[in-house]
Amino acid sequence: MPRIGRHRHQLGSPLWEAGAPDEVRAELDFHLEMLTREFEARGMSRDQARAEAVRRFGDPARISATSLTSARERDSAMRRSHYIIDLSQDIRFAFRQLARARAFTVIVLLTLGIGIGATTAIYSVLLAVVLRAIPAAHPERVVYVAERYQGQTSNMSIGNFVDVERQATSFDGLGAIVYRSFNLAEGEAPERVFGAAVSASLFKVLGIPAALGRTIANDEDVPGNDDVVVLSDGLWTRRFGRDPAVLGRTIRLNTRPYRVIGVMPPLFNPTISDEQLWVPAAFTTTQRAQHDEHYIDVLGLLKPGVSRQQAAADVDRIMVDLVARYPNANIDRRGTVTSIADVVLGNLQQRLFVLFGAVLLVLLIACANVSNLLLARGASRAKELAIRTAVGAERGRLVRQLLVETGVLAVASAALGIPMAAAVVKVIVARAPTGIPRLTETTIDGGVAAFAIVLAVLCSVIAGLIPALRASRRDPQQDLRDGGRGAMGTVRDRVRSVLVIGEVALALTLLIGASLLIRSAVAMERSEPGFDPQGALIGRISLPEAAYREPTRVVQTLERIVDALTAQPGIVAAGATSQAPMGPGGGSNGLLAEGRAPTPANIVDTRLRMISPGYLQAMRIPLRRGRAFTDRDVSGTERVAIISEETARRLWPGEDPVGKRLQCCEGSEADPRNKTVVGVVGDVRSSGLGSPIVPEFYLPIAQAPDVAWDWIQRSMTLVVRGKGSDGSALAGAMRTAVHAVDATVPLDRVTTMNQAMATSVAPARFNTLLLTTLGAIGLVLAALGIYGVVSYFVSVRLHEIGVRLMLGATGRQVVRLLVVQGLRPVVIGLMVGLVGAAVSTRALASSLFGVSSLDVPSYAGVTLLLLAVGLLATVIPARRALRVAPRSALGG
Amino acid sequence: MPPANAKDALHGTLDALILKTLTWGPRHGYAISRWLRDTSSDAIQVEEGSLYPALYRLEKVGWIKAEWGVSEIGRKARIYRLTPAGRRQLRAEVARFAAFIDAVQPILLSE
């Protein structure tokens, strides 16, 4: 016989009325009494018999003790066995009940299934993108070391990095990363490969050994000895067929030969930038002295026991010293230490958490609906529950049984929700904009499934507790007498009203949040970019350093390419720039107006663009004052510059900048090489729509400082514009022109300006789409919830309505009465929700553009929408009642 | 097969005796010890200190079950009865005991 069932026969016996000690004592006392009587029967007196019985009995204390132990063991074994039997009984009973109430079960399963499915899907995305640690030997100790400039985290300069590495005491290692594109020529087709030049110490910081071969050694991180390369697993698979013989082979990167010394495992991705290969950084002495070009990334391994704050203070202290020693290179700079996630994910983290918050709101609304449904169901089962109470079932047992029923529903919903989540994740991953790191790693694994089940259990408690408590509290006599009718509850059912208030408040918050983000997105897309993207095509070229060492040769080739482009049929205007809007590249320099002292207050950090003369026309950046560059602005003639309006505002507020001179980028005390401002152009939102306006300035490529070509690694963006509005038709022409000038120069990342803009707003748009979907689901659920509750209220008063109608009330009067009653909780919910929304949308403030978190149109619009939905959900059942009520009144 | 050690042997025998007693109907603890005394002519006198732990143990494994009932003197008493599982266990014990006797008898009881 199975051990579980062995106490089955003892169900229902009030076994544990007394505790075990009392029981045992009672049993032993009885035995003693019987012994006493036996001796009395043999002729002893009562006292003698008693004494003899006690003597025979033995030491009562010892007997009690051993008996008690056995009794207790027995009792706990029985309790456990009973519990399991009860539970399995409850579950079987629950299944039967649910199978009988099919409509109810289906609705609850769907409601909870959608809620749990959506929440699980977003959670799994959160897990993959944000919560999972970067693969490293000690992930909690790997940090991103950075400078802070104007409140923002900023890249480091090589000079600063060298000093920080030398002086910092908080790290077991620091590694620098310089991202670069390489022309990989090996065997057949050359290709552009994204990679990085890194310190040898970077591999130690991450603590991940090479899968094949080895990583960069310290003595290879030196100029002259640095012709080694480590491949990524992806590149090794794609281009080298996972051939182990790749070790020792020589490949040509940017026409230089490099020897392959190792291959990294697939998970090695220090900043999730997906670089394909790593070469030594091998900083030269010149580079190591350069404190003013801030473009490298630095990762560090904290010493065990050192906190991030301590390390940040350490780096900051060093930076303060560096600011004092190199004031012009390090204006306004501080040091900091942050997590890699913060840097790589940026505000994506916040966006995802907001999304998660939104989906939880939807889940809560779903729970409120289910709670409502359970209340209704409890009312309809009043008779059955009354009978069970009357026959002796205690309240705890009933509550437990009802909770088990809700639990079964919840777990079944989880079973529905998990595959739903898998489908949703698939859609999200397919439709999401590119550039969300690790999104493709999102999977529904055991951990996520466990989350879904835990969520389901929580929901069942949240949704089911109050209905279970209420259903088991009833007065059995009352219920049995009424035949179940009076058990519908009172007209002023507080709990149901509270549920409606809650749902409305949650839905309002959700929809207001979504509305704010939608309006943000619209404002962003309407904002002026500062140029005309329609019909423009861009492409990126990179001149290999070996063949184009001399700056004059670089400039010549660029000019020839631009001429070749302009000569192409279909191309109306062409130009080249070191950084196009939303494009890669570019750096910033400090500008100082001539005659002003070089103090931090006077130096304006400005983005530099080196452009060909035709660029401004090709991009249709409006010229506000003065003139654009011409072919006559060449090396040897007067040095000129064009600045943006913002730059003019900062350098010469209120004055006409044309003709004034400024100092930047090159020169010394003896030979300042100042440049004359010849023109002012409109501001350009270079980081995409919705990005802030930053100061910019332009130099002609023919006059660019020699060292600037190193800064930008001889990479430029070409721009062409045709007659039509679709730039993509010009791609072939662009390629032909470049090829004609120099066939070895690769052209890649050819895209229309419109596409580039769309890509830059894609994440915001996608986010908005998701939130709107959640908002809509929340709205529908809330509407259903309101409808359900109002229908219930109406059905309770059916009799009364019928009587009123018979006594002469018009239909309209009755409807008005019902609607007012039904809308009361809705209105309260709106008021609560408005307060809640005002508070919670503050969390969105940093994601908003052009809209405040208390945007009146959003608040008003959503409130009216919910009011209208509430009205509809109230009027429909009210009007239906009119038809049914008279029958009910007559039927009594 | 003979029991492994003395305690088990004692337990086993006592268990069998209690189970067998209950085949004649439900009894409370005193009645079981009294019946055993009477039937064995006072040869078997179960100590109360062993009886009740044995009863609780048998109850725990489900071979007997107990209920509070009214005794013949009018006071509440805990009445034990045999369960179907207990019945099967008793049969096994008796068979084991009979096999033991059969094995030992020709050796110890022959001259």
Over residues A633-665, the pLDDT tens digits come to 888 888 899 999 999 998 888 889 998 988 887
CA distance B29 to chain A (A): 7
* Residue with token string 């019902």: A818
Contact A181, A542 (CB under 8 A): yes
Give A772-826 pLDDT, tens digit per residue. 888 888 888 888 887 777 777 777 777 777 788 788 878 788 888 888 888 888 8
Half-sphere exposure of A492 (CA within 13 A, CB side): 0
Q: What is the mean pLDDT of chain B?
A: 85
CA distance A397 to chain B (A): 22
Which of A9, A57, A70 is the closest to B53 by Cβ? A70
Q: What is the DSSP letter of A17?
A: S
* Interchain proximity A35–B30, CB inside 8 Å: yes
Model confidence at A383: pLDDT above 90: no
Q: What is the DSSP letter of A545?
A: T
Helix/strand/coil for B59: helix
Report residue A448 as tokens: 């996520």
With vertex at residue B65, the alpha carbon angle to CA B63 and CA B71, rounded to the nearest 5 degrees, is 135
CA-based nearest residue to A270, from A417, A445, A419, A144 = A144
Contacts of A74 in chain B (CB under 8 A): 56-57, 59-60
In this prediction, residue A708 carries a pLDDT of: 81
| E strand or H helix that includes residue A692 | none
CA distance B76 to chain A (A): 8
In this prediction, residue A831 carries a pLDDT of: 93
d(CA A486, CA A384): 14
CA B11, chain centre distance (Å) = 9
* Interchain proximity A6–B75, CB inside 8 Å: no
Q: What is the mean pLDDT of chain A?
A: 83
> Of the spans A3-17, A85-99, A168-182, A390-404, which averages the highest pLDDT?
A168-182
Residue A530: C-alpha distances to residues A481, A526, A890, B20 (Å): 79, 12, 75, 102
Cβ density class A644-661: b for 16+ within 10 Å, e for less: bbbbbbbbbeeeebbebb
d(CA A26, CA A390): 31
Q: Which of 59-88 (B) contact A at CB < 8 A?
A: 59-62, 65, 67, 71, 73, 75-78, 83-85
With vertex at residue A356, the alpha carbon angle to CA A354 and CA A357, rounded to the nearest 5 degrees, is 65
Residue A28: C-alpha distances to residues A13, A24, A203, B69 (Å): 21, 6, 77, 15
Q: Which residue would you say has higher pLDDT here, A373 or A189?
A: A373
A142: how many CB neighbours lie within 10 A of its CB? Answer: 23
Q: Which range has the worst mean pLDDT, A165-169, A301-305, A713-717?
A: A713-717
* Interchain proximity A63–B29, CB inside 8 Å: no
Residue A844's pLDDT band (boundaries 50, 70, 90)?
Answer: confident
d(CA A202, CA A161): 13
Give A463-475 pLDDT, tens digit per residue. 888 887 777 766 6
Interface of chain A against chain B, CB under 8 Å?
A: 1, 3, 6-7, 9-10, 13, 23-24, 26-28, 30-31, 33-35, 37-38, 57-59, 62-63, 66-67, 69-71, 73-74, 77-78
Residue A286: C-alpha distances to residues A150, A168, A433 (Å): 27, 22, 41
Contacts of A10 in chain B (CB under 8 A): 65
With vertex at residue A771, the alpha carbon angle to CA A766 and CA A773, rounded to the nearest 5 degrees, is 95
Instruction: Report how many Cβ contacts below 8 Å link chain A to chain B.
Output: 80
* Interchain proximity A58–B65, CB inside 8 Å: no
In this prediction, residue A119 carries a pLDDT of: 92
CA distance A46 to chain B (A): 16
Which of B48, B56, B85 is the closest to A57 by Cβ? B48
Give A230-262 pLDDT, tens digit per residue. 999 988 988 888 888 999 989 988 888 999 999
* Interchain proximity B48–A63, CB inside 8 Å: yes
Contact A410, A459 (CB under 8 A): yes
* Interchain proximity B78–A23, CB inside 8 Å: yes
Contacts of B67 in chain A (CB under 8 A): 13
Tally of residues, chain B: 111
Long-range CB contacts (within 8 A, 24+) of A524-527: A524/A689, A524/A690, A524/A761, A524/A764, A524/A849, A524/A850, A525/A689, A525/A761, A527/A685, A527/A689, A527/A690, A527/A849, A527/A850
Residue B3's pLDDT band (boundaries 50, 70, 90)?
Answer: very low
What number is the average pLDDT over the span A207-213? 91
CB under 8 Å to A582, separation ≥6 — which residues? A686, A687, A688, A756, A757, A759, A760
In this prediction, residue A488 carries a pLDDT of: 45
Helix/strand/coil for A640: strand
Residue A175's pLDDT band (boundaries 50, 70, 90)?
Answer: very high
CA distance B105 to chain A (A): 34
CA-based nearest residue to A518, from A761, A259, A836, A345 = A761
Model confidence at A282: pLDDT above 50: yes
Half-sphere exposure of A36 (CA within 13 A, CB side): 14
B60: how many CB neighbours lie within 10 A of its CB? Answer: 21
d(CA A34, CA A41): 10
Residue A485's pLDDT band (boundaries 50, 70, 90)?
Answer: very low
* Interchain proximity B65–A10, CB inside 8 Å: yes
CA distance A91 to chain B (A): 25
Half-sphere exposure of A589 (CA within 13 A, CB side): 22
Model confidence at B63: pLDDT above 90: yes
CB under 8 Å to A381, separation ≥6 — which residues? A471
Long-range CB contacts (within 8 A, 24+) of A72-75: A72/A20, A73/B56, A73/B57, A73/B60, A74/B56, A74/B57, A74/B59, A74/B60, A75/A15, A75/A16, A75/A20
CA-based nearest residue to A175, from A211, A212, A221 = A221
CA-based nearest residue to B63, from B20, B100, B30 = B20
Which of B29, B53, B84 is the closest to A31 by Cβ? B29
Residue A529: C-alpha distances to residues A523, A596, A663, A696, A757 (Å): 12, 32, 28, 14, 9
CA distance B20 to chain A (A): 20
* Interchain proximity B53–A34, CB inside 8 Å: no
B53: how many CB neighbours lie within 10 A of its CB? Answer: 22
CA distance B2 to chain A (A): 25
* Interchain proximity A6–B62, CB inside 8 Å: yes
Ramachandran quadrant class, A506 (left: phi over 0; alpha: psi -120 to 50; beta: rest):
alpha
Contact A829, A509 (CB under 8 A): no
Which of B49, B56, B76 is the closest to A63 by Cβ? B49
Residue A293's pLDDT band (boundaries 50, 70, 90)?
Answer: confident
Q: What is the DSSP letter of A485?
A: S
Q: What percentage of residues in chain A have a pLDDT greater than 90? A: 20
Residue of B nearest to A15 (CA): B67
d(CA A371, CA A451): 21
Report residue A90 as tokens: 């409850």
* Interchain proximity A74–B83, CB inside 8 Å: no
* Residue with token string 């009988």: A100
Contact A609, A697 (CB under 8 A): yes
CA distance A5 to chain B (A): 9
What number is the average pLDDT over the span A758-767? 79
CB under 8 Å to A675, separation ≥6 — which residues? A639, A640, A641, A661, A662, A663, A664, A699, A703
d(CA A778, CA A798): 30
Give A352-377 pLDDT, tens digit per residue. 888 898 899 999 999 988 888 888 77
Q: Which residues pair with B67 in a beta bridge?
A: B79
CB under 8 Å to A660, separation ≥6 — which residues? A593, A594, A651, A652, A676, A677
* Residue with token string 């002012």: A680
CA distance B66 to chain A (A): 9
In this prediction, residue B87 carries a pLDDT of: 93
* Interchain proximity A73–B28, CB inside 8 Å: no
d(CA A499, CA A655): 64
Residue A892's pLDDT band (boundaries 50, 70, 90)?
Answer: very low
Give B65-90 pLDDT, tens digit per residue. 999 888 888 888 999 999 999 999 99
* Interchain proximity B76–A77, CB inside 8 Å: no
What number is the average pLDDT over the span A54-77? 78
CB under 8 Å to A740, separation ≥6 — which residues? A564
CB under 8 Å to A747, separation ≥6 — which residues? A539, A540, A541, A718, A734, A735, A738, A739
Q: What is the DSSP letter of A139?
A: G
Q: Which residue would you say has higher pLDDT here, A864 or A133?
A: A864
Contacts of B15 in chain A (CB under 8 A): none
d(CA A292, CA A295): 9
With vertex at residue A635, the alpha carbon angle to CA A630 and CA A638, rounded to the nearest 5 degrees, is 70
CA-based nearest residue to A77, from B60, B103, B34 = B60
Contacts of B47 in chain A (CB under 8 A): 58
In this prediction, residue A890 carries a pLDDT of: 59
Contacts of B28 in chain A (CB under 8 A): 30-31
Contacts of A73 in chain B (CB under 8 A): 56-57, 60
The residue type at B96 = R
CB under 8 Å to A483, separation ≥6 — which residues? A383
Mutate which of B42, B45, B56 to test chain A, going by most A C-beta atoms within 10 A?
B56
CA-based nearest residue to A841, from A379, A357, A410 = A357
Q: Which range has the worst mean pLDDT, A408-422, A873-887, B88-102?
A: A873-887
CA A513, chain centre distance (Å) = 16
